[in-house]
Chains A and B, each alone.
Chain A
């Protein structure tokens, strides 16, 4: 599938090789500064690499936005155990498709980022944990790894630098939960994909109880340019405390959906109207999911803001994974809420009570509301149940389900009210309504 057309308003750094002919091949990569950052890093000490990344203000691109340099600095590098690199390519957040294009069009950039992380962490073994549904990407990644081994960019004594690194792919089995780093590690170890108790964090005890650097694909992909052009240069692209560019995955009711690379702090309305070609004629913006479906939605009037961590937090939402879902005035917000909760109910791993039971209950109420047989108390109940999940679950999946639900009910309450059955319901629920639904 060809990549969407580049847009002049983009700042293309990690996506700059996407439009070359045969972009995923090692020849194309090597012809365009490929592995030069690794060669440079191989002459640096681990601390120098970590410091460069710290200087870059790179923050994790998986969604949580934790400073990458700091995370690498936490690695228990003095441990006698082997150190590992794990790539989180379990891209499952609805609305997000950036890791997919990165692996599809520039897999060697990822390998290079992993190698540099290996130098930073004194690690010589790595895994790329790829979402099971991305079957074709596993093939692309495997091919890239094979090429790298064949050309001596992986394996023993890479290009005479004395640095060894072994890399393999590992397929997920279709669980959103495995995008959570500790559940990913459990799955990587062959266990049921359920999150671990933290601490210890992966930097101390990760894959197979060994110190592990675990980052998102996009995070690793940003590293080669940081090494080549310097952390200060990268930091200058973004805003204070958050450097560089990131990929926006714009989908929904826009004319040119696609993946666009912009600096952190890029205005949201500009992204919608210029990069993504604006809404369809005659349509008005209703709401935006700004960074994957686990972020609270923004109503149209809230969308005029720069996309950086602080501004988004001030607006009550998150930068998240970069998966923007644009909803115009044809959107039924009750259906949207139901669709989101259906996803989280399906993906709840069942480990802890509030998420396991809360998502199913919410799904049942929202299904009823959507069917037009909701009762007055349902709207408050939906909000309240989501609040009861918030902050009380074992891992962030419960919050991910609660946050968008709370925001949709709060911001689009009138749509829910319009769907009520408007029947007098005795205390304790209406038996007949329940029967209809069953």
Chain B
């Protein structure tokens, strides 16, 4: 360890630590614009200049490694004067349009001027002006506000692996430009906007909507893919106006993709259902909740055990748990199912008894080697891809891809293997010798690996003789939770295809799913109840449609693809829609069925006690953390038919039914379907 003194405080730091980091560890914040932890160094803003004894000039703390006996003053008169004059320089061509600028109130330049202040402006010349540019539906660039800290360029290149941004011109006329010239061709993730310390990059959906202090900021879990990113939804009067990562405490840190940041707009889509619908004379007509619930209760009472129940991959664990209980114990039907997108069951069974064999999101950042089998991580699981990229950047992890076509991870991979979906395991086996030499390995696999192939993959992992962890990739925000809560057919129960094919099914209860999108229902007389946000294909066939609230309008917990449980926090409200749990409770009460209270905390307590691996610490969940489930303490009793595992193979710009109602996902010019198969 190196001993040094910063502002009179004795500090110890590892050799090679940068002065700015050492100071941070000691609780001293040296100001900086261009320095950003995790990305390459710039030393361009000159805000972190500090006095270091024995150096004749001020030194940039962001590039100076600590040295034994170093004596540093961060807030001495010379450093403060340097910062003040640098800010004065910065403000010369800055438009100072803070009253209308989006980040006003959460702007690092404002904060810095507030702290070091250039009270009087001595610049009386004409400012250099450049017109604002729109680069994409979600990104605008206002060059005069830009302080050229290069954060956006670095986050795009290093963080996202996209490299969509560059610089044009020289000197004070330098501007950030898309490398495509006038438009972006990128992930449209908006990371550049969040990382921008000023208002140079603004969000196409949020700009000039409101002021930051007029919003309520709610950190909740994104409802799109299964990565489980925490998104901070800014809402005004119950309406979401902005998504970003202001609360960066989630498993994603500062990462968000276009869906987490912008695709909340389905919430306010004009086609949202806001009233229960009952089919009268062949047409769905608005009805009261009481009428609809009573009708459902009566019909379910008649159908009882001959009811098919299809659960959702977006609803909470509590809802899924309660739905299963209500169906199996209350209605007495074993026919419960949901659309599975990864063969989690077989994996958990194959790994039974092993310790630490399931990788969490954070493990992807720490693994020495990562093997991606049959998945386009950057398209389907952008956070996991981001973690792997960061791992390569910071720890030089070895990445291997075994996919049918080219994927973005190839660029940073040690080896990219191409093989047809049926032969993926052959490709994997060819890497055995190389993988054996790595300290540990994390394997991610997509829906092409199911049934026996999962067991073969685990056997391959066992044969390597190193620590191996697995992630079975699944599609949506609570796909994993639906598996864990047991939304699968019980003894003698029907699976989804069987329900649709059964000619004598009396009732079909569909919660947040669209099983009839691909075909009809064989049982023409079946009474169909649908709980959903929109009038889906299934809802159009329904006898009763109940408007439900989205994940952003309720609380509860969800489990991400890596098995981490996190809490949803209500950020918005839509008139007329009710959380599914509340609807379940209403139905149960109307049917006079008692399967416990339809209340989140009570159900979660029951989940903790009865669901394998879910005995997670409550404080972690309650404080917004991610709690890892440990479901490997024994084999599974029965495994549902692996052949029904099928991923929707969403891309960055599609997200199943929700994606169809997100206008922003449809606006971006990048063609959806950039998957290797597309």
Contact = CB atoms under 8 A, between A and B. Distances in A.
Contacts of B93: 357, 360
Given A192-B167, A348-B171, A353 B121 contact: no
Interface in A372-421: 377, 381, 388, 391-394
Nearest to B60: A394
Contact of B49 (A349, A365, A381, A392): A392
B89 A353 contact: yes
B187 to A, nearest CB: 23
Interface in A248-284: none
A360 B58 contact: no
Interface stretch (A55-63, A227-235, A307-315, A428-436): A428-436
Contacts of B82: 388, 392
A393 B128 contact: no
Contacts of A388: 82, 85-86, 88-89
A430 B125 CA distance: 10
Most buried by A among B92, B123, B125: B125
A392 B84 CA distance: 12
A353 B171 contact: no
Given A353-B86, A354-B46, A357-B90, A392 B58 contact: yes
B86 A354 contact: yes
Contacts of A381: 122
Interface string B168-194: 011111100000000000000000000
A345 B121 contact: no
Interface in A330-364: 345-354, 356-361, 364
Nearest to A397: B171
A397 B106 CA distance: 33
A100 to B, nearest CB: 24
B147 interface: yes
A349 to B, nearest CB: 6
B58 to A, nearest CB: 6
A348 B45 CA distance: 14
A359 B49 contact: no
B298 to A, nearest CB: 72
Interface in B81-109: 82, 85-86, 88-90, 92-93
Residues of B contacting A: mostly: loop
B45 A353 contact: yes
B46 A394 contact: yes
A164 B93 CA distance: 53
Given A197-B63, A353-B147, A392-B49, A347 B125 contact: no
A347 B171 contact: yes
B44 A353 contact: yes
B161 to A, nearest CB: 18
A301 interface: no
A437 B126 CA distance: 9
A348 B170 contact: yes
B327 to A, nearest CB: 62
B124 interface: yes
B148 to A, nearest CB: 6
A349 B125 contact: no
A391 B58 contact: yes
Nearest to B120: A428
B43 interface: yes
Contacts of B167: 192, 350
A438 interface: yes
Contact of A429 (B45, B58, B124, B166): B124
A368 B122 CA distance: 15
A391 B81 CA distance: 13
A331 to B, nearest CB: 26
Contacts of A213: none
B199 to A, nearest CB: 17
Given A350-B148, A394-B46, A360 B171 contact: yes
A175 interface: yes
A381 B171 CA distance: 21
Interface string A168-207: 0000000100000000000000001000010000000000
Contacts of A368: 125
B171 A392 contact: no
A385 to B, nearest CB: 8
B41 interface: yes
Nearest to A381: B122
B125 A364 contact: yes
Given A357-B89, A360-B93, A197 B171 contact: no
Contact of B92 (A197, A347, A357): A357
Interface residues of A, number: 36
B124 A353 contact: no
Nearest to A352: B44
Interface string B153-172: 00000000000001101111
Contacts of B46: 352-354, 392-394
Given A391-B57, A391-B58, A359 B85 contact: no
Contacts of B45: 352-353
A350 B173 contact: yes
A356 B149 CA distance: 12
A63 B124 CA distance: 36
A434 B125 CA distance: 6
A111 B82 CA distance: 45
A356 B124 contact: no
Interface in B366-393: none
A175 B93 CA distance: 23
B86 A175 contact: no
B129 to A, nearest CB: 11
A132 to B, nearest CB: 14
Interface string A208-234: 000000000000000000000000000
Contacts of B63: 197
A359 B124 contact: no
A356 B172 CA distance: 5
A350 B125 contact: no
Interface in B1-55: 41-46, 49
A345 B643 CA distance: 68
A30 to B, nearest CB: 44
Interface in B215-263: none
B172 A360 contact: yes
Given A352-B45, A357-B89, A430 B171 contact: no
Contacts of A438: 126
Nearest to A192: B167
B167 to A, nearest CB: 6
Contacts of A437: 125-126
A233 B99 CA distance: 70
A138 B9 CA distance: 57
Most buried by A among B46, B90, B174: B46
A360 B170 CA distance: 11
A323 B82 CA distance: 32
A361 B124 contact: no
Given A388-B89, A437-B126, A356 B121 contact: no
B58 A356 contact: no
B86 A349 contact: no
B61 to A, nearest CB: 13
B125 A351 contact: no
B533 to A, nearest CB: 48
B130 to A, nearest CB: 13
Given A353-B45, A354-B46, A361 B121 contact: no
Contacts of B170: 175, 346-350
Given A381-B122, A434-B125, A437-B126, A350 B89 contact: no
15 contacts: A345-B171, A348-B170, A349-B174, A350-B167, A350-B169, A352-B43, A353-B148, A354-B46, A357-B92, A360-B128, A360-B172, A361-B89, A364-B126, A365-B125, A392-B58
Given A352-B43, A353-B89, A356-B171, 16 more contacts: A197-B42, A346-B171, A349-B170, A349-B171, A351-B148, A356-B148, A357-B93, A359-B172, A360-B93, A364-B125, A365-B125, A391-B58, A392-B46, A392-B49, A392-B82, A434-B126
Interface of B: 41-46, 49, 57-58, 63, 82, 85-86, 88-90, 92-93, 120-126, 128, 147-148, 166-167, 169-174
